Amino acid sequence: MATYKLLLLPGDGIGPEVMSEVEKVLARLSAMGVAKFEIERGLVGGSAYDAHGQSISESDMKLALAADAVLFGAVGGPKWDGVPYDVRPEAGLLRLRKDLQLFANLRPAICYPALAEASSLKREIVEGLDIMIVRELTGGVYFGEPKQIIDLGNGQKRGIDTQVYDTYEIERIGRVAFELARKRRNKVTSSEKRNVMKSGVLWNEVITALHKRDYADVELEHQLADSLAMQLVRWPKQFDVIVTDNLFGDMLSDIAAMLTGSLGMLPSASLGEVDKVTDKRRALYEPVHGSAPDIAGKGMANPIAMIGSLAMCLRYSFGLGETADRIETAIADVLAAGLRTADIKGDAKDVISTAAMGDAILARLG
Ligand code: NAD
């Protein structure tokens, strides 16, 4: 049986509550003989600050670097609003992304038929939706230099951010998108603003050349980012994999997320380069939602985004696609049976707790 090293970083607020449900699933998968999981646990965010005065300790960073994958809950909350900027809870997540060099952010937007009513769009537009947004995560305007506010001396100031991409950054994110598409419906939509941005012209050229050279079997289309935003709410089912830069990806993935209803349903993955020697890639999996301080400690959190993040981990880091499919089918079955946490209540009469939702998914795993 294969052995995988997992680091669990539950974090703050509802993070530990939803991570407990993932631990149950991992225990069940081990008992079923799917794989052996060597589990380490660490602190991140406010809980790490309370324990060590840092948003993540050096020893937990070492564990993250040594792990086959990291599962991350959520960080932050009003308790830590006043802590120094460089040790604020979010700094732990940014450090992980930076040190693990996680350049590709994968956000699936899946609309389970049972939840189609929770979307702000009409049922026929979102029911059965299954798209994947691949966002470049470590480059572009959020990191480009110069990045500053300068005083022009005449009562005016100038704010400057720099959008910058090199060929290799576009190529490596393009590869992630094309490889994913091959395992899905074989279509990639690349998005930029080549009509007004030089970085968009280069993005378009590099993706087109990469496609021609290595991925001609995959369908490729290009859409301007503003037009794609419109298409996402007009007819999202036309898309399979969307690949885009850091800034546009930030916005387009939030639009796609809302097509599906609740924050409590959305998993994500952040991936690094494949190591040429070990053939493994660094990876961190986390729900899209935050620490939800308003419901923390009440047993109300929806664990589906966190459990869905584990399913992504099994599929993309451990090659256990069939087990991931089983988890996702169990989630769909639970929803089809009408079981709901408070955030996805809709017209349901009763709601169940975080732990009861985890147990219901487990019961359908076999
Ligand atoms: P949030 O995602 O924590 O909560 C937004 C709303 O969605 C809340 O009403 C919350 O109760 C609800 N919600 C979120 N996840 C849910 C779940 N699993 N089940 C049921 N309901 C859920 O966003 P926020 O309120 O803007 O931020 C709260 C804290 O989380 C802040 O400190 C913020 O900085 C932090 N945050 C962290 C991350 C992260 O760790 N990656 C991401 C976003 C926000």
**Predicted confidence (pLDDT) per residue in 135-162, tens digit:** 999 999 998 999 999 999 999 999 999 9
Residue 141 sits in a domain whose CATH number is 3.40.718.10
**What is residue 190's predicted lDDT score, i.e. its pLDDT?**
98
Q: How far is CA 321 from CA 37, 180, 188, 273, 328, in A?
A: 16, 13, 21, 20, 10
Catalytic residue among 50, 166, 217, 226: 226
By residue range, what is the domain housing residue 92?
A: 1-107+263-366
Same domain, 91 and 153: no
Q: Do 225 and 195 share a domain, yes or no?
A: yes
Whether 226 is a known active-site residue: answer yes
- Give the Å distance between the CA of 152 and the centre of ligand 1: 39
pLDDT at 144: 93
**pTM of the full predicted structure?**
0.92
The number of the ligand 1 atom at minimal distance from the alpha carbon of 75 is 40
Quote the ligand 1 centre to 291 CA distance (angstroms).
5
On whether both 238 and 274 belong to a single domain, the answer is no
In a domain? residue 50: yes
The last residue of a domain, from among 212, 232, 259: 259
pLDDT in tens, 337-354: 999 999 988 888 899 999
Is 254 a known active-site residue? yes
Say how many domains are in the chain.
2
Active site residue 347: no
Asked about 350 being catalytic, the answer comes back as no
Residue 275, pLDDT score: 83
**Do 237 and 268 fall into the same domain?**
no
Please report the pLDDT score of residue 119 as a whole number.
83
**Catalytic member of 142, 161, 187, 359:** 142
List all residues 6 or more positions away from 259 whose beta carbon is below 8 Å from its beta carbon.
Answer: 109, 111, 119, 121, 126, 129, 232, 233, 236
With 90 as the cut, is the pLDDT of residue 28 above it?
Answer: yes
Query: Region 287-305: what's the mean pLDDT?
Result: 96
Residue 258 pLDDT: 83
**What is the C-alpha to C-alpha distance for residues 46 and 75, in angstroms, rounded to an integer?**
7
113 band by pLDDT with thresholds 50, 70 and 90: confident
Does the residue 328 lie in any domain? Answer: yes
List Cα–Cα distances, 61 to 7, 36, 42, 74, 313, in angstroms: 10, 23, 9, 16, 19
Q: Does 86 qualify as catalytic in the annotation?
A: no
In contact, 178 and 188? CB cutoff 8 Å: yes
Nearest CA to ligand 1 atom 16: 264
Predicted local confidence at residue 23, as pLDDT:
98
Of 236, 259, 282, the last residue of a domain is 259
Alpha carbon distance 320, 338 (integer Å): 28
253 & 275 share domain: no
Question: Who lines ligand 1 at CB under 6 A?
Answer: 14, 74-77, 93, 263-264, 286, 289-295, 301-302, 305, 343
Closest residue to atom 13 of ligand 1, CA basis: 292
Mean predicted confidence (pLDDT) in 20-36: 97
What are the pLDDT digits (tens) for 233-265? 999 999 999 999 999 999 999 898 888 877 889
Last residue of a domain, one of 223, 244, 259: 259
Centre of ligand 1 to C-alpha 261, Å, is: 15
Contact call for residues 310 and 25 (beta carbons, < 8 A):
yes
CA dist list (Å): 317 to 20, 23, 76, 333? 21, 17, 27, 25
Which of ligand 1's atoms lies nearest the C-alpha of 302?
19
High-pLDDT (> 90) share of the chain, % = 87
- Both tokens of 4, joined, read 């995988």
Whether residues 145 and 78 fall in one domain: no
Q: Poorest-confidence range of 195-204, 275-284, 326-335?
A: 275-284
275-282: average pLDDT: 86
In a domain, 114, yes or no: no
